[in-house]
Amino acid sequence: MTKLLNYQYTESTLENIEALNIKNMQKYNPIYKQFFKLCENNYNKITLNQHYTLSHILEKKSFSRYLCKVTKNNEFLEKETFVKFAPILDPIKYMVGKYDNKDKNLFILPTLLDDTSKYEKMCDYNNCAYTDGFFSFLASKLLHEYKFLNAVDFYGSYLANHNNMMINIYDDIEFLNDSDDFHKNKKIYFDVDDCFYDEVSNYDSNHNKKKINISSGKNMDEIEDIKDIEDISAIEAIEYPVNVEIENIVETSGKDTSYINLSDLSDLSYNFLDISLNNSKEESECSSITCSSRSSHTENSKENEEEEEKESDDSCEESDCESEEEKEIFSYIKNFPVNVIFLEKCNQTLDSYMLKNDMEEQEWESILLQIIFTLITYQKVFDFTHNDLHTNNIMYAETDKQFIYYTYNSKTYKIPTYGKLWKIIDFGRAIFKFNGKLLVSDSFSIKGDAATQYNFGPYYNSKKQKVEPNKSFDLCRLGCSLFDYFIDNIKNIKDRSDCDNLQCLILEWCEDDNNKNVLYKNNGEERYPEFKLYKMISRTVHKHTPERQLDRILFDEYRVSKKKLNKKVKIMNIDEIPCFV
């Protein structure tokens, strides 16, 4: 049996790390202690035995895309890489003051010699940033050792402090805006995009809005023809002797607030610049937040905890799920600790691809079968659950192979690729086993963003019902993220005689053990809002294991006789991949 894990001893360092905008880069990762004997002399001089060794950053293409030089057997290759800066601490908690922001030791990286950090999350080998990177490594070993093409390649990882870490806070805007500490810490410990202030105007809040800038310039005589604020867009930038900031220009009582007359400001001789009032904001990049089943709802509130064992039918007060591109509003944190993970650059998420392309049923079957075989493989080899599998956590890489072949349980399948190899990404919530060790993302710890989804292992609470990882969770969660794409309105589904094969499949994946849809009630309301959906899938859905999907008539046409295949055909034989649990 191939030895999947080993380490490479090296004193060389990655060249041109300045392009990554990081500092204090180190090789040591607390998860290594679980598998290697480390000492003072070697702990920060080893890397994992990935297929390619990263040697040089050649070019920065964007915040997360880099052209890199890698080596294999003294041969140099250029690889376009996706660099994932996985936060070691929780950036949202940092922004709302859950950590001691004044603590100078807060961002110090863990070492073998001193792993008693005040913040145990930094030293916990189950830290989601560490388990994410480590499973990415394991998956890449299947790619190279067993030619499993649906795995993402891995080029290495390092711990470091990022000089200006970007965090997409779009999904957390309302939560952040309601935090006093967030507003106190803003511009002291971190910055946010200006469009954050446009977005928070959608909420009732007494917190700060962006100040309106009144720039210096000529006197009012030169703009006397301008009647109201709607005409100000015609004014060019002109100089005034002073600058003034006004937070609240006019308090109106029963007036139309869509405009402000300049006569209300007749005692001021200033020109207004950079003011834009657009009540509809339909054109704004910062549109209102929507609840999307194609993304992660990770906040586990006290209300969720109190209702842990209660299956509620209360209606969801969230807005209807909409189809849209992922929205982005960023915060920027200096010196933030990260696991820098170098991965194969894929092309596009399934979410983006399916919204931009009309796909025939056969292409969808190809996509779903590739994901099913990936889950079958990871479950067999690593006792794996992803725990957050939605359409933004699946990507494709282009291939010139017309077909790919799998053998599982002595049955062989021939699947058209449509030019794409579909791959599962983002293992921050993964649970898996390797070499006798159970690795459970600390997202499931009592302080984690997925606390109470499961109750077992290192985070087991003996006072609560035991809930172990669920092999049916991933396809059910994926089905929920696909539901609105395939089903216009659940209220129109009286029976399934009018549904096509894919609609029937997605409907089934979204059913619990009592054949009840976990996403919607029959009247179209959400059954379980946000994170409660994850908890209820874990507890009530057990019929949708990946292996079971191969028994469907829908996929029978992809079965082929191995004997009739050309001997040159390369088959991914899952039966021959050992279990590394």
Q: Are residues 339 and 433 in the same domain?
A: no
Q: What is the CA radius of gyration of the chain?
A: 27
Q: What is the pLDDT of residue 322?
A: 34
Query: What is the rounded CA–CA span in Å between residue 456 and residue 445?
Result: 10
Query: What is the rounded CA–CA span in Å between residue 228 and residue 251?
Result: 16
Q: Which residues, including other chains, have CB under 8 Å from residue 183's CB and lie 6 or more apart?
A: 207, 208
Positions of E strands within 199-308: 212-215, 244-246, 271-272
Query: Is-contact 223 235, C-beta < 8 A?
Result: yes
Q: Are residues 19 and 132 in the same domain?
A: yes
Q: What is the pLDDT of residue 310?
A: 44
Q: Are residues 388 and 516 in the same domain?
A: yes
Query: Is-contact 392 346, C-beta < 8 A?
Result: no
Q: Are residues 339 and 431 in the same domain?
A: no
Q: Are residues 339 and 362 in the same domain?
A: no
Q: What is the pLDDT of residue 2?
A: 67
Q: Are residues 484 and 527 in the same domain?
A: yes
Q: Are residues 382 and 457 in the same domain?
A: yes
Buried b (16+ CB within 10 A) or exposed e, 222-260: ebeebeebeebeebeeeebeeeeeeeeeeeeeeeeeeeb
Q: Choose the final residue of a domain: 319, 345, 371.
A: 345
Cβ count near 99 (within 10 Å): 19
Q: Are residues 340 and 433 in the same domain?
A: no
Q: Are residues 389 and 484 in the same domain?
A: yes
User: DSSP label at 385?
Assistant: B
CA atoms within 13 A on the CB side of 500: 9
Strands 46-48 and 165-168: unpaired
Query: Is-contact 455 464, C-beta < 8 A?
Result: yes
Query: And the tokens for 268?
Result: 């001021």
Q: Which residues, including other chains, have CB under 8 Å from residue 367's CB and lie 6 or more apart?
A: 350, 394, 420, 422
Q: Choose the final residue of a domain: 302, 320, 345.
A: 345
Q: Are residues 339 and 487 in the same domain?
A: no
pLDDT tens-place values along the chain, 581 residues long: 568 898 888 877 888 999 999 999 999 999 999 999 999 999 999 999 999 999 999 999 999 999 999 999 889 999 999 999 999 999 999 999 999 988 988 999 999 987 655 678 999 999 999 999 999 999 999 999 999 999 999 999 999 999 999 999 999 999 999 999 999 999 999 999 988 877 776 655 555 555 545 444 445 454 445 445 444 444 444 444 444 444 444 444 444 444 444 444 344 433 333 333 333 333 333 333 233 455 555 445 444 444 444 443 333 333 333 334 568 999 999 999 999 999 999 999 999 999 999 999 999 999 999 999 999 999 999 999 999 999 999 999 999 999 999 999 999 999 999 999 999 999 999 999 999 999 999 999 999 999 999 999 999 999 999 999 999 999 999 999 999 999 999 988 878 888 999 999 999 999 999 999 999 999 999 999 999 999 999 999 999 999 999 999 999 999 999 999 999 999 999 999 999 99
Q: What CA–CA distances, in Å, run from 350 to 279, 295, 395, 426, 499?
A: 33, 12, 6, 14, 23
For residue 222, tell me if it sits in a domain: no
Query: Domain total for the chain?
Result: 2
Q: Residue 559: give the domain boundaries.
A: 349-581
Q: What is the pLDDT of residue 282?
A: 37
